[in-house]
Amino acid sequence: MSEEDLTRRRFLSTVGKGVAAGSVAAGLLRTASAQLRVPDPPDKKLGWAIVGLGSLAINQILPAFSQCEKSKVAALVSGHRDKAEKLAARYGVNSKNIYNYENYDTLRDNSEVDVIYIVLPNSMHAEYTIRGSKAGKHVLCEKPMANTPADCEAMIAAAKQANRKLMIAYRCQYEPFNREMIRMAREKELGELKLIQADHGFKIGDPTQWRLNRAMAGGGSLMDIGIYSLNAARFVSGEEPTEINAMMYTTPNDPRFREVEENINFQLRFPSGLMANCSSSYGYQTQSRVRAVATNGWFELEPSQNYTGLRMRVFRDYVLQEPSFPQRDHFALEMDHMSDCVMNDKTPLTPGEEGLRDMKLIMAIYEAAKTGRTVKV
Amino acid sequence: MSEEDLTRRRFLSTVGKGVAAGSVAAGLLRTASAQLRVPDPPDKKLGWAIVGLGSLAINQILPAFSQCEKSKVAALVSGHRDKAEKLAARYGVNSKNIYNYENYDTLRDNSEVDVIYIVLPNSMHAEYTIRGSKAGKHVLCEKPMANTPADCEAMIAAAKQANRKLMIAYRCQYEPFNREMIRMAREKELGELKLIQADHGFKIGDPTQWRLNRAMAGGGSLMDIGIYSLNAARFVSGEEPTEINAMMYTTPNDPRFREVEENINFQLRFPSGLMANCSSSYGYQTQSRVRAVATNGWFELEPSQNYTGLRMRVFRDYVLQEPSFPQRDHFALEMDHMSDCVMNDKTPLTPGEEGLRDMKLIMAIYEAAKTGRTVKV
């Protein structure tokens, strides 16, 4: 048996064990597992509309459809007709299925589109998700879900009202390395979790980009990448934090950080006694990382959130090991998960409520940093 | 040129650069550098008395004298005459130079002893350091310096009064891997420091040991190993913290933690804007680690405080490298540093004031954890 077969089998067994553990997402995991084993025929693919043709859509999401088994790109929504035309030609999208932000709502009349993927700046997530639900479509929305908990609640209500699915694009929760972190934590493979360390930072460039505009981004590095650290602490542990400490720093007079924070460190306490030390930064170059320290050792991903090249290390009995898992396209996995939920009427593993929870915690982290007090949530 | 020569040369050049940078410890570094190049003749060794023959003395300190160039063991102080006799025989100590805690002060009459090394439980550091100074000897005292800042101040005053040296055994500050961390930070090799992560944890065993007795240990994991994380954040950055957050957790009903804390996570803010996320634990098995994240990448030791086998990794331009340095005996280096300070009338790199500073910060960390407030120091 080849090493690839072995690691693939290990991943499958991982997913299977997730089911046995009876997690909330048991049904979904079973589906994900089935997905890996028996590809559905091509005609079972749902049609997707991609809303917002920025670099994430162009470089990651559109190419990912080639790896999908249940999802195909059917429409594009953009303010730039030229760009949309070129991408439509490249990905075989009928040019009648190119929309702009004005005629976006007429997607309701397009039966080729089942799911809408919102890849817009944060401040536009709520409006376009709600309009998408009202157009009768299922919606996958990029993280962070919105800029305020109130917006998140309105999005959840709109999807419910329309009787359509709403999922937040927490892609890490769908790929094999992060799922192995979850399995090891849940099965207490190295004992009880005691400490999670989750970090992410990169040096942001152009000061005029929307990520550095408070109105559009809702905040700084915490909203954009600290949310990965927060979400990882929650999904690896399977627990919800009860207390938060935080500390923030922004370089004075840096033109990039006139409106949003640069660096933020936060601590979480969980009901079991587990604690987390997390960080995010727009000011320094590091790799994303999630380490889970348990009674008898630790396991980690570093990088943990890169689109490719994830790496696991396990420290057990004073020995470091590097187990390997299949490198899968995160976007293809999450889109197929959403398609499967639509096809089989299941709740996504990361529904709107997951995005809302992070958003409330992000507000609490900012409050802790500003007040210098432990915030109880 | 062999790889060992190369790394040795690199360490020497490191020390040399430390001098060029004009740090407070410039003279000391110069001495350390000279030390590595030209060993002093054997007759230039100072005589040491080891006070407290526990596992650290037996397994680390006594064997380390074989690596010393300026220090030799001349006396032993113990409550167990039998044990002391055996060790005296093994290390060639004249049995007339075996003392107990009652006749300890008569060391003043023993001209073979220049320096006393206090390797007792924390609560005894103050008394035996002060009695050592009063006996006219120079004192190297294990960390943590004492159980309270008041005790630290009394120790500093006693050494000053006696006109004798006082050094705290922060061994990491004397060995090549940690010194390379300091060099890289000071020379801003990867840019400005933005985040320090310093962690240490091990599973403590016997519930009856003095480390788990509040009166003897002064506290739990923070006093014993969290102090390494705290000290590393300070010596790597060369800055003093101004604000502290902390969170503590102790497993209920664990017989080991009836009196002292198990796990503690703390955050530090430094004047430059650098922040640190640190942790220590008596409840989980991990490796000691210090990572310094700078604008353009990071450098780390993991393990960072083990007696042997330190390992460095550097993440620069998206490439991971593992530079190597000589593995030196930490105890031999620190003892020889102390001997050199005595011989040449210099202030140790880690004098009593260094121990006092950590002790004040430890009190502030406990206060932050207890009150749920940011403590300004």
Residues A19-49 have pLDDT tens digits of 333 333 333 444 444 444 444 555 689 999 9
Residue A86 designated active-site: no
Whether A34 has its CB under 8 Å from any CB of chain B: the answer is no
Quote the pLDDT of residue A43.
Answer: 61
- Beta partners for A166? A139
- CATH fold group of domain A189-326+352-376: Dihydrodipicolinate Reductase; domain 2 (3.30.360)
Q: Name the catalytic one among B104, B174, B228, B366.
A: B228
- How do strand A275-281 and strand A46-51 relate by DSSP bridges? unpaired
Contacts with A38 (C-beta within 8 Å, 6 or more apart), sequence order: none
Residue of A191, A203, A249 with shortest CB distance to B275: A249
Q: For residues A84 and A75, what is the distance between their CA atoms, to the nearest angstrom? A: 10
Question: Locate tokens 């098995």: which residue?
Answer: B285
Which residues lie closer than 8 Å to B104 by C-beta, 6 or more apart? B51, B77, B128, B131, B135
Which residue, B145, B113, B110, B114, is CA-closest to B130? B145
- Min Cα–Cα distance to chain B from A181, Å: 17
Distance from CA of A278 to the nearest CA of B (A): 8
Cis-peptide, bond into residue A63, ω within 30° of zero: no
Euclidean distance between CA atoms A227 and A232, whole angstroms: 8
A218 to chain B, any CB pair closer than 8 A? The answer is no
- Tell me whether A267 touches chain B (CB under 8 Å): yes
> What's the mean per-residue pLDDT of chain A?
91
Q: What is the DSSP string of B123-154?
A: GGHHHHHHHHHHTT-EEEEPSS--SSHHHHHH
Q: Which of A317-321, A351-355, B166-170, B344-348 has the lowest mean pLDDT?
A: A317-321
- pLDDT at position A3: 36
Other Cβ atoms closer than 10 A to A296: 17
Plot region of B218 (φ>0 → left; ψ -120 to 50 → alpha; else → beta): left
Identify the residue among A247, A280, A281 best suited for mutation to test binding to B, counting B beta carbons within 10 A and taking the highest.
Answer: A247
Angle subtended at Cα B177 by Cα B48 and Cα B343, rounded to the nearest 5 degrees = 30
CATH for the stretch B39-171: 3.40.50.720
- Reference B203, options B265, B238, B275, B251; nearest CA is B251
Residue A44's pLDDT is 86
Q: CB-based burial of residue B168 (10 Å sphere; 0-12 exposed, 13-18 middle, 19+ buried)?
A: buried
Walk along chain B (377 residues) in steps of 10 and give the mean pLDDT of each run: 36 33 37 46 84 98 98 98 98 98 98 98 98 98 98 98 98 98 98 98 97 97 98 98 98 98 98 98 96 98 96 95 96 98 98 98 98 98
Q: What is the pLDDT of residue A25?
A: 38
Cβ proximity of B324 and B336 under 8 Å: no
Q: Is the pLDDT of residue A129 over 90?
A: yes
pLDDT the model gives residue A184: 98
What does the pLDDT read at residue B41? 55
Q: How far apart are CA A186 and CA A180, in angstroms?
A: 10
- Residue B123 corresponds to which amino acid? S
d(CA A274, CA A289): 18
From the candidates B265, B290, B322, which should be mutated to test the interface with A, based on the most A CB atoms within 10 A? B265
pLDDT band at A17 (very low <50, low <70, confident <90, very high): very low
Pairing of strands A312-316, B115-118: unpaired
The distance in angstroms from the start CA to the end CA of chain A is 49
pLDDT for the residue numbered B19: 30
pLDDT, tens only, B266-282? 999 999 999 999 999 99
d(CA B147, CA B125): 8
Minimum Cα–Cα distance from B373: chain A residue: A373
User: How close B191 gets to chain A, by Cα (Å)?
Assistant: 9
Residue of B239, B374, B375, B377 to mutate, testing the A interface (most A Cβ within 10 Å of its Cβ): B374
For the question of residue A134 being annotated catalytic, the response is no
Question: Shortest CB distance from B195 goes to which of A281, A295, A296?
Answer: A281
Residue A209 has pLDDT above 80, yes or no: yes
CB-based contact, B282 to chain A, within 8 Å: no
Helix or strand holding residue B290 (H, E): strand B289-294
| Beta-carbon-side half-sphere exposure of residue A135 (alpha carbons within 13 Å) | 23
Separation CA B72–CA B115 (nearest Å): 10
Alpha-carbon distances of A78 from A54, A83, A101, B90, B319, rounded to whole Å: 9, 8, 7, 82, 37
Residue A341 CB: number of other CB atoms within 10 A?
Answer: 23
- Measured in whole angstroms, how far is the alpha carbon of residue B356 from the centre of its chain? 13
Predicted TM-score of the model (pTM) = 0.89
The answer, for B366 touching chain A at a CB cutoff of 8 Å, is no
**Phi, psi (deg, nearest 5) at residue B241:** -65, 150
CA distances in angstroms from A265 to A10, A253, A271, B185, B272, listed in the order given: 35, 21, 20, 20, 15
Q: Which two tokens stand for residue A200?
A: 């992410």
**A196: enclosing H helix or E strand:** strand A193-201
Q: Are strands A312-316 and A319-321 parallel, antiparallel or unpaired?
A: antiparallel
Q: How is A321-368 classified by DSSP, letter by letter?
A: E--------HHHHHHHHHHHHHHTT---SSBHHHHHHHHHHHHHHHHH
ipTM summary value: 0.88
Percent of chain A whose predicted confidence (pLDDT) is above 90: 88
- How close, in Å, is residue A138 to chain B by CA atoms? 38
Contact A285 B263 (CB under 8 A): no
Length of chain B: 377
From the list B373, B377, B370, the residue with the least C-alpha distance to B248 is B370
pLDDT score for B23: 37
pLDDT value at A99 more than 60: yes
Q: How far is A363 from chain B (nearest CA, A)?
A: 18
Q: Could you say which DSSP state residue A189 is in? A: B
| Domain spans, chain A | 39-171, 189-326+352-376
Element (H, E) at A15: helix A3-20
Quickly name the fold that domain B176-327+352-376 has: Dihydrodipicolinate Reductase; domain 2 (3.30.360)
- For the stretch A37-80, pLDDT in tens is 444 555 689 999 999 999 999 999 999 999 999 999 999 999 99
Judge whether residue A309 has pLDDT over 70: yes
Helix (H) or strand (E) holding B197: strand B193-201
Does B298 contact A at CB distance below 8 Å?
yes
Q: What is the mean pLDDT of residues A334-348?
A: 98
d(CA A233, CA A46) in angstroms, rounded, equals 32
Distance linking the first and last C-alpha atoms of chain B: 49
- At residue A206, what are phi and psi to the nearest 5 degrees? -40, 115
Span B52-88, pLDDT tens digits: 999 999 999 999 999 999 999 999 999 999 999 999 9
Which H helix or E strand runs over B11? Answer: helix B3-20
